[in-house]
Amino acid sequence: MLPHTKTKSCMHTLFPARNNPAVSESYFEVELVNRLQSAVEKQRAQIKKLDQSVLDYRTQNDELRALSDRTASCNRDLRRKCRAVQGQLHEMIDERAEMTAKVRHIFKKAFFGIYG
């Protein structure tokens, strides 16, 4: 046998689809199915990553909402306490004014009582 003929028979054994159109089409379909499966797997992985990302964002959103609610509650409490302290401060200022007026009146009465 010639070396060239031997090479041809080996090629025919290795690649039977080259000579048979039905087998060639079958290989094409198998390759197409494999490519499609690979594409589907990649898309599934992307979807899984996106789902995890959405879940992470929802978790962060829930945590931020809870923090916002606690901050708003704290703010309401502080405003209430501030109003109460301001009310007490106004009462103390009024009492101080009254006491100052009484002390002045007593001082004037005592001073003018001695020298009057």
The token duo for 25 is: 């089409």
Contacts of 26 (CB under 8 A, 6+ apart): 17
3-state helix, strand, coil in the chain (%, to 5): 95, 0, 5
The token duo for 63 is: 């945590």
Per-residue pLDDT tens digits for 48-105: 999 999 999 999 999 999 999 999 999 999 999 999 999 999 999 999 999 999 999 9
Pick from 14-18, 19-23, 63-67: least confident? 14-18
- Mean predicted lDDT score pLDDT of the chain: 85
Closest CA relative to residue 16, chosen from 25, 3, 4: 25
Domain boundaries, the chain: 14-115
Integer-rounded Cα Rg, in Å, for the chain is: 47
